Structure 1
């Protein structure tokens, strides 16, 4: 098996959950059959959304490159970033680090296309939504994206920053309100396009018709590092 390097800490809880997902999804009968991982937890990485929106001059990409290079020096063969907004910087990071960095955006769209879906709702940070990361890739792969209204987007950001990142209880009613709007707009599946939203899925029975992009990242990391994937994780859309 290849060694997986994790550019972590964006945020810390999401990084810990990513590791849990990789372990849970690997078809291993003993410790020795699990994937070797090197995790560099860097919560001091500047906020990606604030930089993308022009609210901060602190560019996070240099620290992410430094982290990735450190992982490569320690023996990482493949790299992942359990932060979706950070994929705004993906081309630069892969070029500067000099090792393959899994592109979670492309992999998520490919997974949806594989199952014949065509209208996809997006829940994500302002940075991810406004940069069009998912919208452009879904369109590139022949699908249509549905994004929240400004009012609903504020609810999603509140869940991400004021609930999960702040370590406070999740106001799940806000999640349902944002979901209902996307369903009414025609979304067949809603992508949880922020790793903090993955934490909500972990804690709450969100029901059918969701795809957690973090699970896609874990699945593809396992496959890319040539470890066996459990059969029940071949389709990640909730039922």
Structure 2
């Protein structure tokens, strides 16, 4: 077993997604007793300003100052690796990685690696307006030879409705509305759908989706965190 490292999680964006991420790590770590689980620090920063609103509103410097302060706090508490279960926060991925001296477990990169390793050629990205307009997944995947498709303006409104007016408000999320977005992307030739918002990871679990057609960024981050921090990944 690899050397154990303390994982820091900057969460709260939203809290339900952070809870699910922590639960996934626990359930996916092969252990024979409590002591074999990872040591984890979690800062559930629920009052963090909305990432999409600040990025699209030209307040990214103000947002980064908050995130940077949180990272420094987690480092002082002994965090050796950092994970952020919020795709839109990865707008600052290079700065975050610099702050962590290369010990940032990047959700976008590990998800992109999974897509390439599975041999997918055309990925449909379902995410917040902030993630979409910053083209975070597009930049990474196109560099790896994968074509990227985003929803139309009308279907993107559905995505934002599901994320902000449903899941973030404690609802399960409208499966029919979500599948209308998926259908549009499939009709455009996508061979994989990327759940590139952790609220969509919550919806995905709420409705018990399955199959190889979806890649859930939270699942990929879970695997990477367990591996990087010296645990053994377990999946039934």
Q: Identify the residue that residue 5 of structure 2 maps to in structure 1.
A: 2
Kept in 1: contact 2:172–2:203 (CA 8 A): no
CA contact (8 A) 1:46 1:59 kept: no
Contact 1:120 1:187 in 2 (8 A): yes
1:72 aligns with 2:88: no
- Give the stretch that moved more between structures: 109-118 or 163-172: 163-172
- Whether 2:185 is the aligned partner of 1:182: answer yes
* Residue 173 (structure 1) aligns with: 176
- The 8 Å contact of residues 77 and 99 in structure 1, kept in 2 or not, is answered as no
- Deviation string for 1:133-172 (max 9, x for gaps)? 0011110111011110000000010000000111234222
- Structure 1 runs not aligned, ≥5 long: 233-239
Cross-structure match for 2:217: 213
Deviation at 1:8, TM superposition (A): 1.0
> Which deviates the most, 56-65 or 41-50?
56-65
Partner of 1:141: 144
Structure with the greater relative contact order (CA < 8 A, sep ≥ 6): 1 or 2?
Answer: 2
Give me the TM-score of the superposition, normalised by structure 1.
0.93
Within the candidate set 208, 213, 226, 1:222 is matched to 226
In structure 2, the partner of 1:87 is 90
Residues 1:126 and 2:138 aligned together = no
Q: TM-score scaled to structure 2, two decimals?
A: 0.94
Q: Which runs of 5+ in 2 are unaligned?
A: none
Tell me if 1:109 matches 2:112. Answer: yes
Report matched runs for 1:189-200 at 5 Å: 189-200=192-203
Higher mean displacement: 97-106 or 18-27: 97-106
Deviates more, 1:54-63 or 1:205-214: 54-63
- Give the aligned partner of residue 237 of structure 1: none
Aligned residues: 232
Q: Distance in 2 between matches of 1:97 and 1:216?
A: 20
2-side partners of 1:17 and 1:59: how far apart? Answer: 28
Q: What is the rounded CA distance, in whole Å, between the counterparts of 2:100 and 2:200 in structure 1?
A: 28
Does residue 45 of the first structure (1) align with residue 48 of the second (2)?
yes
Where does residue 34 of structure 1 map in the other structure?
Answer: 37
